[in-house]
Structure 1
Amino acid sequence: MKFRDRIGHAWKALTDPDWIKKLEEASGWNYNSASGMNVTSESAMRISTVNACVRIIAETCASLPLDIYHRLDSGGREIARKHPIYSVLHTRPNPWQTSFDWRVQLFTHLLLRGNYYALALDHGDMLIDDIIPMNPDTAKVEQLPDYTLRYTFTGLKGETLGPYPKPGIKVLHIRALSSDGVLGRSVIADARESFGAALATQEFTGKYWSNGATPSGVIKIKGKLAEGQADRIRSQWNDDHGGASRSNKLHVLSEDADFTKIDITAEDAQFIETRRFQRADIAGLFRVPMFLLQSDSNTATYASAEQFMLSFVVHCIRPWIINVEQALHRNLFSAPEFYFPEHNLDAILRGDIKSRYEAYQIARNQGILSKNEVRAKENENPLTKPEENGDSHLSLAEIQNAKKGAAL
């Protein structure tokens, strides 16, 4: 083959919109499992539990308010709405995504592929103006002798982008669990056997339903059948009764034919128990409580569900958002000692209105919160009149009077 032809074939392969998928299948990135199923991030998302876990984590994290804070000399902090990167992270990271869209994609990449990559563009003013997500499947990460990292990517048209970082372009790289500190590990790859078994069970169940979800049977006909007659009878029976939509139809047999049903149900084949176990196994890998997956378990009461939600926030959501906050802080802020990003977890930790108001009363009477700080937590406008003392905290004497009043 001529060199020019080789170049032509190579370019054709790179510009094929499915080339990444084909390369994934050919290179072993599809994580073959003992079940015989090829497990990829895309095929794993066809498992209902995986899809639900990814959506729950990604959409919950993305729905949290992401604010930029300024450290005050007094040791406190305040929201820095005028910081140039505030609108980028909070509202518009790039021309085609909202902050919610961008963060859903970010957490989805972390959950399925173990790494999130983006190019942070400053357009010459040393302040980040745009965050451009990159396909993690096309990323090449190289650790140089000085331990810095160099990145190259493949563009939408198959062109090589990079190496990065370079003036005007930073790389935002966020890792999931990592064993070498350079690349994150994919839970899909690490637990390929669990996902492969779930895919195999799901495929088998689909085929089971395509055959009517009813056990096989035997048609007994007196005498000897002519050549091909058995195949025609079997084909006709399957045409009339195959598939869930054609189950339980009335079928008329000739006087010489008799149908005997073989009673093997899905529960006898342990389908239900197997799928229940796989659902719990996958939920455990993502650390998502079963009650959030609308499990058929009856063990979750209102009180226990509240504790489960707290556990979900502490053990699942919090590690992910801290990981993202620290990566944003490290990569995007030119003065990290004065400014930092932080998600607000109050929205999903808020109890019922009675519990909240009782907690506010305690905080108010202890001099911890002012009236306006309480109102801000309830999305109410601040008290601005001087006589309303909206920003003042109770003094020691006022606290003691409040305690005396509560004791009466």
Structure 2
Amino acid sequence: MGLIKSIGRLFGAKSAPVAIDTPEKLAAALGAGYETVTGQTISTTRAMQMTTVFGCVRVLAESVGMLPCRLVKETGRERETASGHRLHQLINMSPNGYMTAQEFWELLMVCLCLRGNFFAYKVWAMGHVVELLPIDPGSVKPKLGDDWTVTYEVTFRDGSKRTLTQDDIWHVRLFTLDGLNGLNPIAYARQAIALGLSTEEHGSRLFTNGAVTSGVLATEQQLSDEAFTRLKDQFHGEHMGTANAYKPMILEMGLNWKPISLNAEDSQFLETRKMQRDEICAIFRVPPHLVASLEKATFNNVENLGLAFVNYSLVPYLTRIEHRIRVGLLSEKDRANHYAKFNAGALLRGDLKGRYESYGKGIQWGILSPNDCRELEDLNPRAGGDVYLTPMNMTTNPEAGNNEN
């Protein structure tokens, strides 16, 4: 079902909410700006121009996007993939006609990281959600009524507005102060981001004006207007910009070059940039080594840093999304024994030697079968590989209890 046709037909509106299906539309959708003490107005698109912000958002979005999400049916103690359920196809393969599941989860994470909220219109058919259509977060205003029901005021491109319910809108949000609206990380961290952008701008201007230290040309003689103009034009033409850095200066009439400013390292410029990079990583809870800051990463701790990223950075997002899938996309009947689950196992896998040693222990103690291990390695099952071993020295002896009596 096409995006514009489905929304327009269901709403009866002339124009549909903005569909985020191109980079340009995504850039236009990501929010208004926030004033800072540096004088810069920080918007989400402006924040993304800072390499650390871009890197953190990209790491989080692509990490979640690469994880398979499946719908699980629970029957007693048995769990199996509900591959026949319509929702499983949406969250595992394609939530709509123009996006893959990976693209959809990446977009969801981008909206959470830059806006704190993600909205999608739910297309229902025969009691099941059959399509999820992303909506510009800036065009939706959640409201909590006096009767504790949630409504969403959606603004269309033609300026018209519609009030929809939770049956129509799927809302995923970050942690909140009011229980309804997710906090915007960019708005709350705008001062730190503005400082980081200001240091980048300072560095760019430094190298634009030349790699040599700024200073003055001094002489005891009085230059004529013609000589002053010629000297100024010659100096700007031959010694400004990085292409002219370190060129020797030819001075006349007793002119001397006197540096008057500190270099970048003396003014703590590089240290300031490092500090801002670490602060931005802390905002998004991304280990610095994942955005190419390897100062504190070693061969001894990089694996633990990776595990910490999964457990403390990704898992909160994953569980948040899983719960919203169960509450917002499943019918009341299916909600009782169905739930969504992201498989983060691929991110937790160690090296080949470590994995095979772990598989060996799992098989030895009857936790895994050989075919379970082969499935984890994307290998086909083998005959007789579904047997679970039981160590002889760990076998229970029911007769022992009877003899004691």
What TM-score results when the alignment is normalised by the length of structure 1?
0.84
Note if contact 1:367-1:399 (Cα within 8 Å) is conserved in structure 2.
no
Instruction: Give the one of 188, 191, 206 matched to 2:189.
Output: 191
Residue 119 of structure 1: aligned partner: 121
Instruction: Give the one of 319, 323, 331 matched to 1:322.
Output: 319
Note if contact 1:152-1:163 (Cα within 8 Å) is conserved in structure 2.
yes
Note if contact 2:30-2:137 (Cα within 8 Å) is conserved in structure 1.
no
Q: Deviations over 1:345-376 (max 9, x none)?
A: 11010011111111111111211112221111
Code of the residue aligned with 2:150 in structure 1: it is L
Q: For structure 1, list consecutive stretches of 5 or more residues without a partner in the other structure.
A: 1-13, 401-408
CA distance in 2, matches of 1:391, 1:314: 31
What is the DSSP-based 3-state SS (H/G/I as helix, E as strand, rest coil) of the residue aligned with 1:111? Answer: helix
Change (3 A) 1:111 1:396: same
Residue 242 of structure 2: aligned partner: 244
Change (3 A) 1:126 1:228: farther
Residue 87 of structure 1: aligned partner: 89
Offset at residue 111 of structure 1 (A):
0.6
Residue 52 of structure 2: aligned partner: 49
Note if contact 2:29-2:137 (Cα within 8 Å) is conserved in structure 1.
no
Residue 6 of structure 1: aligned partner: none
Offset at residue 187 of structure 1 (A):
1.2
Code of the residue aligned with 1:230 in structure 2: it is F
What is the DSSP-based 3-state SS (H/G/I as helix, E as strand, rest coil) of the residue aligned with 1:85? Answer: helix
What TM-score results when the alignment is normalised by the length of structure 2?
0.85
Indicate the larger mover: 31-40 or 261-270: 261-270
Code of the residue aligned with 2:359 in structure 1: it is Y
Code of the residue aligned with 2:105 in structure 1: it is R
Note if contact 1:134-1:153 (Cα within 8 Å) is conserved in structure 2.
no
Alignment of 1:300-319 (within 5 A): 300-319=297-316
Indicate the larger mover: 129-138 or 258-267: 258-267
1:62 aligns with 2:59: no
Change (3 A) 1:260 1:140: same
Residue 373 of structure 2: aligned partner: 374
Residue 210 of structure 1: aligned partner: 208
Q: Deviations over 1:98-124 (max 9, x none)?
A: 1111111100100111111111112x3
CA distance in 2, matches of 1:83, 1:113: 31
Code of the residue aligned with 1:381 in structure 2: it is N
1:282 aligns with 2:272: no
Q: Deviations over 1:111-138 (max 9, x none)?
A: 111111111112x322112111111112
Residue 267 of structure 1: aligned partner: 265
Residue 71 of structure 1: aligned partner: 74
Code of the residue aligned with 1:113 in structure 2: it is R
CA distance in 2, matches of 1:289, 1:64: 19
Instruction: Give the one of 180, 183, 189 matched to 1:182.
Output: 180
Q: For structure 2, list consecutive stretches of 5 or more residues without a partner in the other structure.
A: 1-16, 19-23, 396-405
Note if contact 1:152-1:160 (Cα within 8 Å) is conserved in structure 2.
no
Residue 342 of structure 2: aligned partner: 343
Residue 145 of structure 1: aligned partner: 146
Residue 219 of structure 1: aligned partner: 217
CA distance in 2, matches of 1:184, 1:67: 25
Code of the residue aligned with 2:342 in structure 1: it is H
Q: Deviations over 1:243-269 (max 9, x none)?
A: 222322344333544333446211011
Offset at residue 139 of structure 1 (A):
1.2
CA distance in 2, matches of 1:23, 1:172: 18
